[in-house]
Amino acid sequence: MLTVHHLKKSYDLQLLFENVSFALNPGERIGLVGPNGCGKTTLLRILAGLEQPTQGSVSRDPSLRIGYLPQGFEPDPETPVGLIIGEAAGSPEALETALVETASGLAAPDLTPAEIKWLETKYDDLLRRIQFNQSGRTAAILLGLGLGGIDPHLPAGRLSGGQKTRLSLALVLLGEPHLLLLDEPTNHLDIAMLEWLEGWMKSYPGGVLIVSHDRTFLDHTVSQTLEMDPQNQTVRIFDGNYTHYVEQKELEYDKQWSDFKDQQQEIRQMKQDIARTRAQAEFTERQASSIRIGGPDMKIKGFKDCQHAIAIKVARKAKAREKKLERYLDDDERVQKPQRSWQMRIEFADAPHLGSAVIRTDGLAVGFDPQRPLLQEINLVVKSGRRIAITGPNGGGKTTLIRTILGELKPLAGEVHVGATVRLGYMSQEQADLDLGQTAVETVQSYFQNQTEARSFLAYYLFTGDEPLKPVALLSYGQRSRLMLARLAAQQCNCLLLDEPTNHLDIPSRTQFEQALAQFEGAILAVVHDRYFIERFAQETWWVEGGAIKVQLPLDF
């Protein structure tokens, strides 16, 4: 289906990866993992034919249909959703007209072999699309992704982040690809959509390469894991899902650490042996030098010469062992000290003390239309130190609830009471509160005395080199998420309102983020669909559905 031969990609002097080789066959499910910035998206774009490698090649079947799902899908905000879907699926009338025209074209005289092949391919594709629509699979995909009930006249710009992701995924699936290249397909998807996608992929006959940081999704979908290692700029293939990959990595790490300690012990013993041998040579030489020869006493002279010879022999032995140690230390096969991948360091600053009741809602209704509130009769209390996950189907009002608590939206009814000592920190889903014209340093500058302090702080969030001086518009989605976390950590808040905080974060960063939240002493309300994250983070779960909130302890998937 697709074979990768010794791929290399670099930009100017920056090497992303090299000597990348693997194959993807029908029915295979491969997860592509690695920290942000190591080149995963670039590799997918090369496989999709959207970029060229610096070296190497990609071999594809000539008839292979590739479905590529990019990160951050942004359709024309003014185009109606129905028109976008219609252009991808094709109207029955337009497809049948095109099929008749193509058939007529094939009947034309004096066609070249290339023209015949092109027309035949077009005819087969049109016929396939007609049969696809007639089978009802178009409607099934739209319904499964929760797009069946969307007003076709709705401008695409009014879709939520989750709806945009689902629309982008639907456009890819409607093309009936033989090979799927999915770049962060789970971003903004709610749990129901994640489970639908997992079920759909189990019955999908083609090959799939997935870039994802959703650990539960990877566990449920992939049978192999491809790791991009930023330290050696290459890839390795591991059998099994994400959990099996982590287990294998941990076993490798433990073995390398054990071998390294054994090696260090051997080096210490060699150095001690060299030191003892050198000391023996020096002692023997001093003994020989202390012998005084008086007159023609040949026996004493012979003994002294013998001691000198022994000292020289022992010194040569020490020198030989030193050279042996040098060769050993210079050997490329020597076990290197194992290194963990460079990870973010997140520490939330000390914040003012909270009272027992941080946030309280009394008869709260939220939404945009008083006649049709998204949520109503909400009577809930957020206590100090509580970690709460807010989840449920997209469009239920989770983000609207957070924005109402923040004061960005007025309640349709009822009240929100925020404690007097509460300092709210907010991380938005769409990253809309970042100024795209500012640099990373300027984004956090106000929390530090000077630029040097700000840059040192940003280094904990993996902003190095000239990255802190780049405009936010030039940063990747993952870098923007890290910048938002950095700003949040610097604000000294004691209550965090987080809307999809793990979107675009790589797995090491998610792990660090989870650890930081576990140590945070304030209250946390997090809108999240990452099941792995919920299981490890939430002390309480608010399930939002049908205009109401159901408190669950604990959430059972």
pLDDT at 154 over 90: no
Question: Any idea which residue has 């009002």 for tokens?
Answer: 397
Domain 357-552, CATH: 3.40.50.300
Whose CA is closest to 477, among 126, 73, 141?
A: 73
Q: For residue 287, give the H/E element and its range.
A: helix 242-289
pLDDT at position 556 is 45
- Provide the terminal-to-terminal Cα distance of the chain, rounded to the nearest Å: 36
DSSP 34-94: --TTSSHHHHHHHHTTSS--SEEEEEE-TT--EEEE-SS----TTSBHHHHHHHHH--HHH
Name the nearest CA neighbour of 409 among 373, 442, 447, 356: 373
State the pLDDT at residue 295: 53
Give the residue-averaged pLDDT of 201-228: 92
* Residue 346 CB contacts under 8 Å (≥ 6 apart), including other chains: 460, 461, 485, 489, 512, 513, 515, 516
For residue 427, name the pLDDT band (cuts at 50, 70, 90): confident
- As a whole number of angstroms, the distance between CA 364 and CA 400 comes to 12
Report the candidate in 275, 278, 288 with the shortest Cα–Cα distance to residue 313.
Answer: 278
Q: Give dist(CA 169, CA 164) in Å, integer.
A: 9
Cα–Cα dist 128/122, whole Å: 10
Query: Packing angle between helix 161-173 and helix 191-203, nearest 10 degrees?
Result: 10
Percent of the chain with pLDDT over 70: 93
pLDDT at 555: 45
SS3 assignment, position 550: strand
Average pLDDT over residues 333-338: 74
Reported as a single tens digit per residue, the pLDDT across 102-122 is 888 888 888 888 888 888 888
> pLDDT at position 554, please?
60
In degrees, to the nearest 5, what angle opens at C-alpha 188 toward C-alphas 457 and 528? 65
The domain 1-75+161-231 is placed in CATH, from the list 3.20.20.70, 1.10.4030.10, 3.40.50.300, 3.40.50.1820, at 3.40.50.300
Confidence class of residue 125 from pLDDT cuts 50, 70 and 90? confident
Question: Given 3-state DSSP classes, what are the helix, strand and coil percentages for the chain, each rounded to the nearest 5?
Answer: 45, 20, 35
Backbone angles phi, psi at 360, to 5 degrees: -135, 135
CB 382 within 8 A of CB 358: yes
**Residue owning tokens 């002692």:** 283
Residue 465, both tokens: 């080199």
Model's pTM, two decimal places?
0.67
> Could you tell me the residue ranges of all domains in the chain?
1-75+161-231, 76-158, 249-330, 357-552
Q: Is the pLDDT of residue 557 over 50?
A: no
Angle at 384 between CA 379 and CA 389, to 5 degrees: 65
pLDDT of residue 48: 92
Topology alike, domains 1-75+161-231 and 357-552: yes
pLDDT band at 149 (very low <50, low <70, confident <90, very high): confident
Contacts 24+ apart (CB under 8 A), 536-540: 537/387, 537/389, 538/387, 538/388, 538/389, 539/386, 539/387, 539/388, 540/386, 540/387, 540/388, 540/389
Q: Which residue has the tokens 């005819």?
A: 123
pLDDT at 263: 85
Whether omega for the bond prior to residue 554 falls within 30 degrees of 0, making it cis, is: yes
Residue 20, classed as helix, strand or coil, is strand
Cross-strand partners of 224:
30, 239
**Looking at residues 537-557, what average pLDDT do you find?**
82
Average pLDDT rounded to a whole number, residues 550-557: 67
